[in-house]
Homo-oligomer: A and B are copies of this chain.
Amino acid sequence: MPREEDCLQSIREEVGTWLDSNWDPNRPLVEWREILLAGGWAAPGWPEEYFGRGFNPAQVAAVEQVFREKKALGAAAGGPGTLARGIVLAEGTEDQKTRYLRPLLTGQHKWCQLFSEPGSGSDLAGLSTKAELRDGRWIVNGQKVWTTSAHHADFGLLLARTDWDVPKHQGISYFLLNMRQPGIEVRPLKQMNGYASFNEVFITDAIVDPRDMVGAAGDGWRLASTTLSFERQKFVVTAQLEERYADETAPIYEEYRRELDELLKPYSWYPQRAGRVDLVLPRARQTGAIADPVLRQEIAKLICLDRATDLVAAAAEAHSRSGADRVVPAGSIGKLARSEISRQAAHVHTHISGMDALFDGPHAAENGLVAEVLLSSPAMSIAGGTDEIQKNIISERVLGLPKEARTDTGPFRDVPRNIVSG
């Protein structure tokens, strides 16, 4: 134990010294990150041959802490780029690593994720975007949807079907798609709450060089699952998303805040989607609804749900840290509970607001935030895996009940699917 702490301390000292001589808030952001990469501090959790030092998570956290103390900025932050970094590092060819990792870390390249399609929502593996090898190049045709930030992405993580004569999971391949080419058209996708946080991507004879296939043909489904598992990994030094260094005025911080804003913009309505439970008691006090015994019941139900869901998550966290193996996947349970919280919160907000629930816009309750809750909450039980999919997961994987009989196990060519008009 003391030895580990000693080691962390020496890391802290080393990175501190390095930052003291290299960190300069007057440099342009990308230039600074080039220095960071050269110094080996952009991705200390990565292997040494790829800008890293092979640090474990505790060591990476120690580095991050020093960065934060010195208000030094790290590698480009989160978003689909995190997934791209993860998959290229883990499964990419040498050539792919050489070409993509550096601009991912400096933030010069933006990425997006091209998995979902209009015809395959819950059934991701039922995708029908087609990639055909013609004259030594992959020609891609199809349509993707729910793509965050596609409109300023340089590259996309693409799933496309390359073999129609095998069962659906086996015919999918994984590509790194250059978004800056004529065959790519990106259109904003407006949601019922008025935001356009996502895009539709229409792909018409887009070209992918064979060296931009990840893994082998048919590996796509496995690689897609691997990709999603990178959502929580932490081997790169990036600022916490909540730390904006708002008081700092040096140009590099300005540039950095623009980068963050662009990244976070699509998510601005997510707190409303979750139900804004935090607003319930203040608003109930303000409107007088807090004195209504019937609404008190509804508010209390909401608080119970919300509080207990946090407790379940905390317990799952404690169990996972301790390595104990409780069979309950807190993920699906929490996801279902949060759908219910959002529904109940929208219900409570409606009745707390009374007649004000009729109105929208900046002059409405809480500057329109309440209306935004009412119009966003339906997404909570759909996005990221519908309630129905979560219930399948729980009943089959946790409770061990039999799987739904499948009718889509034959060659994909013969499986019924939706006809989508682009």
Which A residues fall within an 8 A CB radius of B?
Answer: 293-294, 297, 405, 407
Shortest A299–chain B CB gap in Å is: 12
When chains A and B are docked, how far (Å) is the Cα of A407 from the Cα of B294? 48
Tell me the dominant secondary structure on chain A's binding face: helix
Residue of B nearest to A404 (CB): B405
Pick from B293, B294, B297, B405: contact of A405, CB below 8 A. Answer: B405
Shortest A403–chain B CB gap in Å is: 13
Residue of B nearest to A292 (CB): B293
Shortest A297–chain B CB gap in Å is: 6
| Residues in chain B near residue A405, CB distance under 8 A | 405, 407
Shortest A96–chain B CB gap in Å is: 44
| Residues in chain B near residue A297, CB distance under 8 A | 294
When chains A and B are docked, how far (Å) is the Cα of A202 from the Cα of B405? 36
| CB-defined A-B contacts under 8 Å, sample of 6 | A293-B293, A293-B294, A294-B294, A294-B297, A405-B405, A405-B407
| Residues in chain B near residue A293, CB distance under 8 A | 293-294
Shortest A405–chain B CB gap in Å is: 6
When chains A and B are docked, how far (Å) is the Cα of A258 from the Cα of B61? 86
When chains A and B are docked, how far (Å) is the Cα of A398 from the Cα of B293? 40
When chains A and B are docked, how far (Å) is the Cα of A297 from the Cα of B351? 15
| Residues in chain B near residue A407, CB distance under 8 A | 405
When chains A and B are docked, how far (Å) is the Cα of A411 from the Cα of B297? 55
| Residues in chain B near residue A294, CB distance under 8 A | 293-294, 297
When chains A and B are docked, how far (Å) is the Cα of A407 from the Cα of B406? 12
When chains A and B are docked, how far (Å) is the Cα of A405 from the Cα of B293? 48
Shortest A250–chain B CB gap in Å is: 58
Shortest A372–chain B CB gap in Å is: 28
Shortest A380–chain B CB gap in Å is: 26
When chains A and B are docked, how far (Å) is the Cα of A407 from the Cα of B407? 13
When chains A and B are docked, how far (Å) is the Cα of A293 from the Cα of B297? 11
When chains A and B are docked, how far (Å) is the Cα of A407 from the Cα of B297? 46
When chains A and B are docked, how far (Å) is the Cα of A315 from the Cα of B297? 36
When chains A and B are docked, how far (Å) is the Cα of A294 from the Cα of B297? 8
Closest 3 pairs between A and B when the two form their complex, measured CB to CB: A293-B293, A293-B294, A294-B297
Shortest A207–chain B CB gap in Å is: 41
Shortest A345–chain B CB gap in Å is: 20
When chains A and B are docked, how far (Å) is the Cα of A405 from the Cα of B404? 10
Shortest A204–chain B CB gap in Å is: 35
Shortest A82–chain B CB gap in Å is: 41
Shortest A150–chain B CB gap in Å is: 36
When chains A and B are docked, how far (Å) is the Cα of A407 from the Cα of B405? 10
When chains A and B are docked, how far (Å) is the Cα of A357 from the Cα of B405? 44
When chains A and B are docked, how far (Å) is the Cα of A47 from the Cα of B297? 64
Residue of B nearest to A293 (CB): B293
When chains A and B are docked, how far (Å) is the Cα of A95 from the Cα of B297? 68
Shortest A289–chain B CB gap in Å is: 13
Shortest A406–chain B CB gap in Å is: 10
Shortest A404–chain B CB gap in Å is: 9
Shortest A298–chain B CB gap in Å is: 10
When chains A and B are docked, how far (Å) is the Cα of A327 from the Cα of B407? 31
Residue of B nearest to A296 (CB): B294
When chains A and B are docked, how far (Å) is the Cα of A405 from the Cα of B405? 8
When chains A and B are docked, how far (Å) is the Cα of A297 from the Cα of B295? 11
Shortest A133–chain B CB gap in Å is: 37
When chains A and B are docked, how far (Å) is the Cα of A405 from the Cα of B407? 10
When chains A and B are docked, how far (Å) is the Cα of A407 from the Cα of B293? 52
When chains A and B are docked, how far (Å) is the Cα of A367 from the Cα of B408? 59
When chains A and B are docked, how far (Å) is the Cα of A405 from the Cα of B294? 44
Shortest A384–chain B CB gap in Å is: 27
When chains A and B are docked, how far (Å) is the Cα of A294 from the Cα of B294? 5
When chains A and B are docked, how far (Å) is the Cα of A340 from the Cα of B394? 27
Shortest A191–chain B CB gap in Å is: 28
When chains A and B are docked, how far (Å) is the Cα of A42 from the Cα of B11? 103
Shortest A295–chain B CB gap in Å is: 10
When chains A and B are docked, how far (Å) is the Cα of A297 from the Cα of B298? 12
